[in-house]
Each structure stands twice: as structure tokens, then as C-alpha cells.
């Protein structure tokens, strides 16, 4: 019997989740609503932002309710936000908390019919606009989530990798590629001193943003409930309610089955990332659950200089890349270490168990992490005070699926982020909101909104799962 792809209960608590929000288990009504206009499945960054834009856009446009589907009286669409577990307990509450695109990712974009030179600049520009979108929402909604615009280091500990990536960057710079204008190179003679990474052979300085993902999502939902929730409100939140199947009724409505009853919805947004194939089989093989690990480190006292940049540390092809996000209080969030478990494929591929850690010999990777890798931390008495696992959704081409699902008129997807959702979701959620409210397709909005065409959820991409 095939396992059903659902979030497992009782996941390991991440550093970000150590203080649960008051809405963690929120169920706006004791009974599950039997009907709604729009159901959003998944209450992480993708789901909450999608619901936010749907509700906000129908507030602003008097005639938009007709497209979105409204209750009688034209009071605007009724939205149900539903999640299998607690609010924001999935990938958003388990990641590194930073937004960036690595130089290595840009210079190695695959060639296609589209000019790679333009693709690189478009990708970096997209991520930069995601940062500004997150900043805008943080400020507009007054969210206390430690948001900062920062710089980030892409560090190489292999001379061969450093030199190879630098040559590609130099070629792009000399060709006038726009993305290189906000990127600078730090050579081997200064890399250790500037980045504080022991054995650094070179590094790039790139733009980045950093924030507390859980506080962003929970703070935003708090504002949404105050604005659109309450008795008779347009937003109904139902946490700890797994959707076990998604089917079409004889009338064409979507039926969301749960252990508490069935919701009939005119439209559905799938913000289910790695778990999407559990509801729509067309995504089987197109989005693969992948398990990773992360950690938090706290020094025994103040360490100077205080680390202000985020990091991607490339340890070479045999070990891969770690990511690192220093917090304002001096703590450090670090993720990666995949080379420790890569050979044991069953432990990570098609594995959605974030209720358990990897074996002790794998989790030992985090012991003395800061002392071993950072200059100035040797006597810091830094302790690994938290470690956790998380589930990512990996796609065959490395791109998310955004837009209406082919062959399913009432379903839109915002899924498949390959571990990089913080740099992708914010603008896509805004566009998904417009698609639903305005009745438009991906082809109508992607250029206007500055999305990347490769994000489109199309028959071509879904047709050949591997």
C-alpha cells in the first residue's frame, strides 16, 4: 500500500517555533464550514500570503467579487485557510530565514532558447523584488519579525570552485550583464579576513534579506483575523485539520475531505509544497519530498565582531553547501550538511518525516560548528542548542509550479520551491491572488508582475514526471 503524503504529527520543534503563537491551533469555528468560495490549503508563507492578497484585492475592487465567487449579498468571497498541523509548522517554520540567489546558481543556469545572459539578470532582479515585497508588507502591516536588508557571502573553500565561478562571473561582468552590478568578488588574499570563514579561497558579496519567517506569517495572520475574521467574517481559519483528499463534485465544485467533515469550495489554492502529490496525483514524481536538517547555535558570551552577513558556504562537490543566518541577538541559524546523509537515500528522498532527527552520527555535524569554521569563535563556548528536520519539495527542473492546474478548472498551485521558497513565494502569491480575483491566467500576468515564465504550471512541465 502506498503511503499517503501528509504532514506527520508532532514534528520536531525548530528554533523559529520555540514560542508558539496564540493562533497556532486556531479554529475560527467549532464546526468546519460546509461551504466556502475559496479554500487555501497550507498555512505557511505561500498559503497565508495568498489568502492575504485575495482578501485585500477583493476589498479594493467593487466588482472583483464576481470573478472570485461571493456569498449572497456581494459581501466578498469567503475564504477558508486550512492546514494539517499547527500554523506555519512546515517548511516556512524550518528554513534558514533568508532571501537571496547564489552566484553559483546564476552562472550555472542551463542554456535554453532564452538567452542565458538575460535569464541571469531576470532571476536576480526577481529575487531583489521579492525582498522589497517582503519589506513592504512588513512595514505596511507593522510586523515584528526582525526583517533586515543585508548582504550575504557566497564563500568557497575549494580553490578550483572559487576560480571556476570567478571566471564565469568575470565573463558575465565584461559582457555587461546587469546582475553583476550589485555583486562583488573577494579574492583569496582577503577572503578569510573579510568573511571570517577558515580556509576561504574566495567569496562573492551579494544582496540578501533576513527575517524571522514564523513571526512574519503569524503576525500577518493576526492582522488578517482582526480585519477579516470574527463572527460572520470573510476569513475562517482551521488549523490541525488534514485535507485527506481533493475531488470534484458533479456540479464542478471542489470537495475537501477531512476527519471533521467535507468542505465544498468553488476554488482552491494548493500551498502544500512537498505534500501536493497527496492531493493531486498529477504532481506525483513532479514534486518529490526531500528531508533536510538545520540547527541553531548560541555563543557563551558576546563574540566580536558581530556577524551581520548571511552566508552560503560551499565546501566543494563532495560536501555541498551550508547556509547560515546570524540573528540580531548573536545566535546563528545554520542548515545543510547533506553530505552526512546523502548516501542513505531512504533517509531523505521521498521522506516527509520531520518528527524525527537523523541518526546521532549525522546530527553530530552541528557539534562545535561555529568554533570549527569561523575565525574568532574558537573560545566562544558556542553550543548547538537546537536542531531539527524539515521537508522541502523538489521539482525536476528546479522551478516552482505557479498558476491554475491544467485539467482542474478550480485549482491553483503555488508549490515546489526546491528549498528556496523565501526567495520565490512573495510575488507569486500576489499573482495567484490576482488570478483568482480577476479571473486571469498566468499568461496574462507574468510579464506585468515580473514573474519568470519558467514558473508556469503547464501541461508540458507536468506531463513527464520522473
- Find the mean pLDDT for residues 8-20: 97
291, 278 in Cβ contact below 8 A? no
Cβ neighbours, 10 Å, residue 296: 22
Partner residues linked to 294 by β-bridges: 335, 388
Q: Which grid coordinates are listed for 203?
A: 567569496
405, 457 in Cβ contact below 8 A? yes
195 and 244 part of one domain: no
In a domain, 180, yes or no: yes
Domain holding 201: CATH number? Answer: 3.30.9.10
314 and 365 part of one domain: yes
173 and 292 part of one domain: yes
pLDDT of 114 higher than 70: no
In a domain, 114, yes or no: no
Domain boundary residue among 372, 394, 416?
A: 394
Q: What is the pLDDT of residue 61?
A: 56
Distance, CA of 21 to CA of 368 (rounded, Å): 31
Domain boundary residue among 362, 394, 426?
A: 394
410 and 448 part of one domain: yes
- pLDDT one-digit tens code per residue, 394-440: 999 999 999 999 999 999 999 999 999 999 999 999 999 999 999 99
- pLDDT one-digit tens code per residue, 158-202: 999 999 999 999 999 999 999 999 999 999 999 999 999 999 999
**Which backbone phi and psi does 374 adopt, to 5 degrees?**
-115, 130
Mean pLDDT score of the chain, rounded to an integer? Answer: 93
280 and 318 part of one domain: no
Domain tally, the chain:
2
Distance, CA of 175 to CA of 262 (rounded, Å): 57
Q: Are strands 411-415 and 261-270 parallel, antiparallel or unpaired?
A: parallel
**Residues above pLDDT 90, as percent of the chain:** 89
In a domain, 9, yes or no: no
387 and 407 part of one domain: no
The reply to whether the predicted model has a pTM over 0.75 is yes
What HEC string does the chain produce? Answer: CCCCCCCCCCCCCCHHHCCCCCCCCCECCCCCCCEEEEEEECCCHHHHHHHHHHHHHHHHCCCCHHHHCCCCCCCCCCEEEECCCCCCCCHHHCCCCEECCCHHHHHCCCCCCCCHHHHHHHHHHHHHHHHHHHHHHHHHCCCCCCCEEEEEEEEECCHHHHHHHHHHHHHHHHCCCHHHHHCEEECCCCHHHHHCECCCCEEEEEEEEECCHHHHHHHHHHHHHHHHCCCCCCEEEECCCCCCEEEECCCCCEEEEECCEEEEEEEEEECCHHHHHHCCHHHECCEEEEEEEEEEEECCCCCCCCCCCEEEEECCCCCCEEEEEECCCCCEEEECCHHHCCCCHHHCECCCCCCCCCCHHHHHHHCCHHHHHECCCCCCCCEEEEEEEEEEEEECCCCCEEEECCCCCCEEEEECCCCCHHHCHHHHHHHHHHHHHHCCCHHHHHHHHCCCHHHECCHHHHCCCC
- Find the mean pLDDT for residues 202-212: 98
- pLDDT band, very low/low/confident/very high, at 116 (cuts 50, 70, 90): low
225 and 188 part of one domain: no
Smallest Cα–Cα separation from 98: which of 198, 180, 206?
206
- pLDDT one-digit tens code per residue, 132-151: 999 999 999 999 999 999 99
Domain boundary residue among 366, 394, 422?
A: 394
Smallest Cα–Cα separation from 178: which of 130, 101, 110, 123?
123
Q: What is the pLDDT of residue 361?
A: 97
- pLDDT band, very low/low/confident/very high, at 36 (cuts 50, 70, 90): very high
Q: What is the pLDDT of residue 109?
A: 87
In a domain, 433, yes or no: yes
Measured N-to-C along each axis, helices 45-60 and 425-438 cross at an angle, to the nearest 10 degrees, of 40
pLDDT of 447 higher than 80: yes
In a domain, 105, yes or no: no
346 and 451 part of one domain: no
Q: Are strands 148-156 and 310-314 parallel, antiparallel or unpaired?
A: parallel
184 and 309 part of one domain: yes
In a domain, 135, yes or no: no
Q: What is the pLDDT of residue 111?
A: 60
- pLDDT one-digit tens code per residue, 261-310: 999 999 999 999 999 999 999 999 999 999 999 999 999 988 888 899 99
- pLDDT one-digit tens code per residue, 49-104: 999 999 999 986 544 444 555 444 346 899 999 999 999 999 999 999 999 999 99
Q: Which grid coordinates are listed for 138?
A: 512588513
Range of the domain at 327: 151-208+288-394
30 and 159 part of one domain: no
Amino acid at each position: 500500500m502506498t503511503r499517503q503524503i501528509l504532514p506527520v504529527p508532532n514534528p520536531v520543534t525548530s528554533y523559529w517555533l520555540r514560542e508558539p503563537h496564540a493562533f497556532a491551533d486556531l479554529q475560527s469555528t467549532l464546526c468546519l464550514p460546509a461551504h466556502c468560495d475559496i479554500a487555501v490549503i497550507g498555512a505557511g508563507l505561500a498559503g497565508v500570503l495568498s489568502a492575504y492578497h485575495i482578501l485585500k484585492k477583493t476589498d479594493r475592487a467593487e466588482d472583483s467579487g464576481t470573478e472570485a465567487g461571493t456569498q449572497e449579498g456581494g459581501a466578498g468571497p469567503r475564504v477558508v485557510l486550512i492546514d494539517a498541523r499547527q500554523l506555519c509548522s512546515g517548511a516556512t517554520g524550518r528554513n534558514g530565514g533568508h532571501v537571496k540567489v547564489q552566484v553559483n546558481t546564476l552562472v550555472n543556469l542551463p542554456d535554453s532558447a532564452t538567452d542565458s545572459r538575460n535569464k541571469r539578470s531576470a532571476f536576480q532582479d526577481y529575487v531583489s523584488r521579492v525582498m522589497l515585497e517582503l519589506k513592504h508588507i512588513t512595514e505596511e502591516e507593522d510586523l515584528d519579525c526582525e526583517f533586515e536588508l543585508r548582504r550575504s557571502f557566497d564563500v568557497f573553500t575549494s580553490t578550483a570552485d572559487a576560480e571556476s565561478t570567478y571566471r564565469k562571473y568575470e565573463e558575465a561582468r565584461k559582457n555587461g550583464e546587469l546582475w553583476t552590478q550589485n555583486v562583488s568578488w573577494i579574492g583569496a588574499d582577503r577572503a578569510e579576513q573579510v568573511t571570517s570563514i577558515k580556509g576561504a579561497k574566495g567569496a562573492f558579496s551579494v544582496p540578501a534579506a533576513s527575517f524571522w519567517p514564523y513571526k512574519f506569517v503569524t503576525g500577518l495572520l493576526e492582522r488578517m483575523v482582526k480585519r477579516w475574521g470574527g463572527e460572520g467574517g470573510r476569513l475562517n481559519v482551521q488549523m490541525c485539520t488534514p485535507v485527506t483528499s481533493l475531488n470534484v463534485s458533479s456540479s464542478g465544485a471542489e470537495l475537501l475531505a477531512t476527519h471533521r467533515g467535507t468542505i465544498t469550495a468553488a476554488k482552491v489554492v494548493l500551498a502544500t509544497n512537498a505534500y501536493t502529490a497527496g492531493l493531486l496525483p498529477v504532481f506525483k514524481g513532479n514534486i518529490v519530498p526531500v528531508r533536510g536538517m538545520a540547527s541553531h547555535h548560541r555563543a557563551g558570551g558576546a563574540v566580536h565582531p558581530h556577524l551581520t552577513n548571511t552566508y552560503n558556504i560551499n565546501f566543494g562537490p563532495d560536501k555541498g553547501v551550508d547556509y547560515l543566518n546570524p540573528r540580531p541577538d548573536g545566535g546563528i541559524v545554520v542548515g545543510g550538511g547533506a553530505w552526512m546523509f546523502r548516501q542513505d537515500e531512504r533517509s531523505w528522498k521521498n521522506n516527509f518525516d520531520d518528527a524525527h532527527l537523523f541518526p546521532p552520527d549525522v546530527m553530530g555535524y552541528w557539534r562545535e560548528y561555529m568554533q570549527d569554521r569561523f575565525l574568532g569563535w574558537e573560545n566562544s563556548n558556542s553550543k548547538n542548542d537546537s536542531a531539527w528536520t524539515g521537508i522541502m519539495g523538489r521539482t525536476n527542473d528546479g522551478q516552482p509550479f505557479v498558476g491554475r492546474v491544467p485539467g482542474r478548472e478550480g485549482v491553483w498551485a503555488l508549490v515546489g520551491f526546491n528549498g528556496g521558497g523565501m526567495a520565490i513565494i512573495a510575488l507569486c502569491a500576489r499573482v495567484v491572488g490576482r488570478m483568482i480575483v480577476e479571473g486571469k491566467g498566468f499568461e496574462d500576468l507574468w510579464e506585468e508582475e515580473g514573474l519568470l515564465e519558467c514558473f508556469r504550471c503547464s501541461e508540458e512541465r507536468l506531463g513527464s514526471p520522473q
